[in-house]
Amino acid sequence: MKKLLMATAASALVMGAAAQAEDIKLGIIVGFTGPIESLTPSMADAAELAMKEVTDSGLLLGGSTVTSVRGDSTCIDSGAATAVAERQITSDGVKGIVGADCSGVTGAILSNVALPNGIVMISPSATSPALSTVEDNGLFFRTAPSDARQGVVMTEVLMEQGINEVAVTYTNNDYGKGLADAFEAAFVAAGGSVTINAAHEDGKADYSAEVGALASAGGDRLVVAGYIDQGGSGIVRAALDSGAFDTFHFPDGMISSALEANFGSEVDGSTGQHPGTDSEGASAFTDMVAGAFDTSSPFTPESYDAAALIMLAMQAAGSSDSADYKNKVMDVANAPGELILPGELGKALKILADGGEIDYVGATAVELIGGGESAGNYRQIKVEGGKIETVKYR
């Protein structure tokens, strides 16, 4: 009996040691094809940068390495996205998912794959307010703020410029509808009026009918809650061509270098905002990347933070099992503890290994509130001389 106990204890020890240094796989599920395909390459690069940093430090769970498994969420096709997530979890054996990107597919993966399999998901860019209240068993977090917050920020930006009447068009999906409704609620509450709040379908050749209805409703500015690589551009093009609107307001899905390339100075005077910050972390992140990819592209710093949070939570829990580390995500993201900037993941891992506490700041001044979503800092932009310029941060 004694021998058996000894043997069991010994084998448990051996297994424990084996679990100490493993190769941890993390899924990255973003839309490499689809309506935000011009944003996603730098998002994935940022997430992988965090994984490389952790692997190189050799401090995670006794020297574990982290490798990424990329998957294409397509941004719009829930079926394809859940299939990718299913494959990553069951066949690749990922321990956590950075993603997904768009709100619709994120909700689909969460309820169909992540929840049944008990895998943690941290989305860098899903912003639909509906995801705040979705059933997630504590598995879902996001480093992007809810659009309920973006609606308020948009209202402030427009009101400060004395614009009280706008037309709104949104892409017909969870993201567009959520943002448009949040904005309308905030804008009307602040005393503005929304003349029309109409959907547009992505992937059409011709948006003149949609723009006709928007123009008829009128307004000082057209708010385009769409995607730059899709219908959003079509709407702006048709509105410019028919002279219906000269200036626009662009939320996060519309702001990318493609906006400058497609329209240049034609949209001068337009405004917009996307999640972003000028915190110490943001500049540290830009310095660290050193031009390998564009760090001012929307949701790129958020992606770094999402990957970093998963790995730090693993370290805090002493386990790469989602069921163990899901409760630690909020702990490492928020106070109390030592402040951690990008590039300091090694230091953070060491503190956690020694039993200390950290407050992860990261590239986007991460502060998780409510059901595990970012409180939200925004970069306000304007288009001037065909270039996107930063006005200020909110």
Partner 1 sequence: MDFLNAIVAFANFVLVPATSYGAQLALGALGVTLIYGILRFSNFAHGDTMAFGAMVTILVTWWFQSMGINFGVLPTALLALPFGIIATIGLLLFTDRVVYRFYRRQKAAPVIYVIVSLGVMFIMNGVVRFIIGPNDQKFADGVRFIISARDFKTMTGLSEGLAIKASTGITIVTAIIVVAALFWFLNRTRTGKSMRAFSDNEDLALLSGINPERVVMITWIIVAALTTIAGVLYGLDKSFKPFTYFQLLLPIFAAAIVGGLGNPLGAIAGGFVIAFSEVTVTYAFKKVLKYLLPENLEPTGLVQLLSTDYKFAVSFAILIIVLLFRPTGLFKGKTI
211 binds partner 1 (CB under 8 A): yes
Cα R_g (the chain), whole angstroms: 22
Structure tokens, 201: 């379908």
State the nearest-atom distance from the C-beta of 258 to partner 1, in Å: 11
Q: Report the distance separating Cα 176 and Cα 169, nearest Å.
A: 8
Our finding on whether 177 is near partner 1 (CB under 8 A) is no
Which residue type sits at 362? G
The alpha carbon of 247 is separated from its chain's Cα centroid by a whole number of angstroms, namely 27
Binding residue for partner 1, selected from 38, 65, 111, 208, defined by CB under 8 A: 208
Minimum distance, C-beta of residue 260 to partner 1, in the bound complex (Å): 15
Among the listed residues 233, 218, 226, the one whose alpha carbon sits nearest the alpha carbon of residue 252? 226
Provide, rounded to whole angstroms, the least separation between the CB of residue 230 and partner 1: 9
Is the separation of the CB atoms in 323 and 121 below 8 Å? no
Q: Which of residues 46-105 bind partner 1 (CB under 8 A)?
A: none
Q: Which is nearer to partner 1, 190 or 209 (CB)?
A: 209
Q: According to the binding rule CB under 8 A, does residue 286 interact with partner 1? A: no
| Shortest separation between residue 216's beta carbon and partner 1, angstroms | 4
| Footprint on residues 229-248 left by partner 1 (CB under 8 A) | 234, 241-244
Using CA atoms in the order 350, 354, 356, 357, what is the torsion angle rounded to 10 degrees?
40
User: Distance between CA atoms of 374 and 146, rounded to whole angstroms?
Assistant: 7
Q: Which stretch binds partner 1 (CB under 8 A): 15-23, 192-200, 297-305, 380-388?
A: 192-200
Q: Any contact of residue 38 with partner 1 (CB under 8 A)?
A: no
Of the residues 79, 218, 269, 356, which one makes contact with partner 1 according to CB under 8 A: 218
Residue 199 CB, shortest distance to partner 1, in Å, is: 7
Determine the Cα–Cα distance for residues 2 and 126; give it in Å rounded to an integer. 55
CB of 250 to partner 1, least distance (A): 19
Exposed (0-12), middle (13-18) or buried (19+): which is 82, by Cβ within 10 Å? Answer: buried
Residue among 208 and 319 whose Cβ is closer to partner 1: 208
- Contact between 4 and partner 1 (CB under 8 A)? no
Minimum distance between the CB of residue 122 and partner 1, rounded to whole angstroms? 30
Q: What is the DSSP letter of 64?
A: -
Cβ 9 to partner 1, closest distance in Å? 60
- Smallest separation, CB 206 to partner 1 (Å): 4
Q: Does 269 bind partner 1 (CB under 8 A)?
A: no
Asked if residue 204 binds partner 1 (CB under 8 A), the reply is yes
Please state whether beta strands 368-369 and 373-374 pair in parallel, antiparallel, or not at all (unpaired).
antiparallel
Contact by Cβ (8 Å): 145, 113: no
The residue (of 208 and 286) whose beta carbon lies closer to partner 1 is 208
Question: Of 360, 354, 355, which Cα lies nearest the Cα of 342?
Answer: 360
C-alpha torsion angle, residues 168, 215, 390, 370 (rounded to 10): 0
- 379, 275 Cβ separation under 8 angstroms: yes
Go through 309-341 and write b for each residue having 16 or more CB atoms within 10 A of its CB, e for each that does not.
bbbbbbbbbbbbbbeebbebbbbbbbeebbebb
- Is the CB of residue 141 less than 8 Å from the CB of residue 177? no
What minimum distance in Å lies between the beta carbon of 200 and partner 1? 8
The residue (of 240 and 330) whose beta carbon lies closer to partner 1 is 240
Contact window for partner 1 (CB under 8 A) among 68-76, 152-160, 207-215, 367-375: 207-215
Assess 210 for contact with partner 1 (CB under 8 A): yes
Q: Which is nearer to partner 1, 160 or 201 (CB)?
A: 201
**Phi, then psi, of 35 in degrees rounded to 5:** -70, -15
Among 24, 121, 215, 313, binds partner 1 (CB under 8 A): 215
Selected binder of partner 1 within 41, 62, 138, 212 (CB under 8 A) = 212
The DSSP code sequence of 289-347 is HTTSS-TTSTTHHHHHHHHHHHHHHHHHHT---HHHHGGGHHHHHSSSSEEE-TT-HHH
* Contacting residue, 67, 172, 257, 283, with partner 1 by CB under 8 A: 172
Positions touching partner 1 (CB under 8 A) are 172, 196, 198-201, 203-206, 208-213, 215-218, 234, 241-244
